[in-house]
Amino acid sequence: MRYTAVRGLAGAALLLVTGCTAFPAQEPGEGAGGTAAIDWEPCHGQDEEGALPEDGDPEWTAALECGTLAVPLDHDDPDGETIDIALARVPASGGADRRIGSLVVNPGGPGESGVEMLAYPQFSDGVREAFDLVAFDPRGVGGSGGFACGDWDGFATAQMMVEDPTAVTDAEMERLENSARTYAQACTETVGADFLAEIGTVNVVRDLDMVRAALGDDALTYVGYSYGTYIGALYAEMFPGTTRALVLDGAVETERPNLEVARDQAEAFQATWELFVADCSAGGTCPFSGPEAADEEMTRILDRLDADPPTARGTAVDGATLLGMVGLALYDETSWTELARTLDAVAEGSEESGELLDALYDTTYGLGGEEEDAGEGDGTGGEQEGGAYLDAEAALTAVNCADRVDPTDPGAYRDAAEAIAEQTPFFGPDLVWGQLPCAYWPDTDTAPTGFTAADAPPLVVVGTVGDPATPYAWAEELAGQLETATLVTYEGAGHTVYGYGLPCVDDPIDAYLLEERVPDAGLSCPAL
């Protein structure tokens, strides 16, 4: 059996963009009914004894404020139906004399919640002193109209039932088509074709400019990670006159057809896996005898788990589940030592393997020792918030399908998946299959390509050489595409790097945000 990391890497499928030409510059935005202040309130109410929730940093949690801003669902109909955009803010700590304005942050996805991201401390003391840190849930995500489509787990199961990803049988293909079609139809029935047509990145950018106006900032200061780089780059194209300083870390591809981009991403995961194997094999605890034998030795580990899966935090860890955890661990090179120890313990069947699997599960899914909240076993592929399940894949799929021109022939996905499986034995086909619902998606406006943000002030693109999810080549391409962009390179591995405490990266980018001083051309920072 060949393995792919279907469950673990579903959220790594990034925005794949093809379509129309660049947008002309847009008029600065206003909230629905005009520019309006956001009514900020504490995000966390205190209990009867005046104590704040124990989770997280108490001082940070106490400062965290939440609010909403109404924006038009259809920006071409500003007086029509609206949608509330959920926001969170931590006010600048340096007082009025030090405050520059707001720094808006987006964590990527598509589908990641900015409000949830801001629940934990971000960035350096200097940045926190000078800026109100602000994050928002893009339309269709979390508190901004988050929605559930249906049985994504059923679709993922259809992918895992493919015995040989290099040669998908007709019966397997029929199962994939049926489950993808069912999922797409469920999305349309749940929220309507009109809503799905308005969920793409162009409208997120228009929402973002309304957020900027409501915050009272004359121009946008912004940090976007992963898919958030596309939001920022398109903002600089559409609203150059209200752009101040934008950091685009972990750039996504904006120009080539979707199946080419899926191939790029699969190759990047494979390359980062090989970097991990080389690092593991060089010394210390490692289950691999060397890079040449690692794929075969890893397959034996996965086969063992399929035959007798252990559990991590109550979830059965078969081969596909472990591979998903491995794929997520590749995002952060500081977790590689833990990953190597865990794989070695599983390979040996040692007594500590259970404890190490629990720890790896917590690390990769960000649970900090809590039970999983991503909806495993609930049949929806979603997470529960306030009693309602929200599909973790719905916004990602909806934005991808809204933004790009997709093949309607399922055979195109089959051909691409089989070709990628030949090149990348562990991390390839799911990146294609995850897009198959788009073959059955309702018509939408596509996102622009060919834009250069020529009228924007200086921008900064950040790329990591060993990034598994957004290949470094994409950062080079985006920096070349945006006429005013400067590229900062981190020579290590992992997905995104700014704000993680590396002075070579953080110091010049902090200076750019604080003083609009652009980093030196060609700046490259060594790996840890």
Pairing of strands 82-90, 131-136: antiparallel
Q: 291: helix, coil or strand?
A: coil
Q: Is 74 a catalytic residue?
A: no
- Spatial strand order in the sheet of 243-249: 41-42, 65-72, 82-90, 131-136, 101-106, 220-225, 243-249, 459-466, 485-493, 524-525
User: 169-189 burial, b for 16+ CB within 10 Å, e for fewer?
Assistant: eeebbebbbebbbbbbbbbbe
Q: Is 467 a catalytic residue?
A: yes
Q: 464: helix, coil or strand?
A: strand
Q: Provide DSSP, 16-42.
A: ----B-PPPPPPPP--TTS------EE
Choice among 217, 391, 430, 467 that is catalytic: 467
Q: Which of 200, 92, 528 is nearest to 336 (CA)?
A: 528
Choice among 226, 281, 335, 353 that is catalytic: 226
Which amino acid is present at 206?
R
Element (H, E) at 130: helix 125-130
On the CB side of 194, CA atoms within 13 Å amount to: 9
Q: Is 44 a catalytic residue?
A: no
Which amino acid is present at 102?
S
Choice among 264, 318, 495, 510 that is catalytic: 495
Peptide bond between residue 110 and the one before it cis (omega within 30 degrees of 0): yes
Contact 70, 187 (CB under 8 A): no
Q: Give me 193's structure tokens.
A: 């074709």
CA terminus-to-terminus distance, the chain: 36
Q: Provide DSSP, 198-237.
A: T-SHHHHHHHHHHHHHHHT-SSEEEEEETHHHHHHHHHHH
Signed CA dihedral, 214, 220, 225, 227: sign only:
positive
Positions marked catalytic: 226, 467, 495
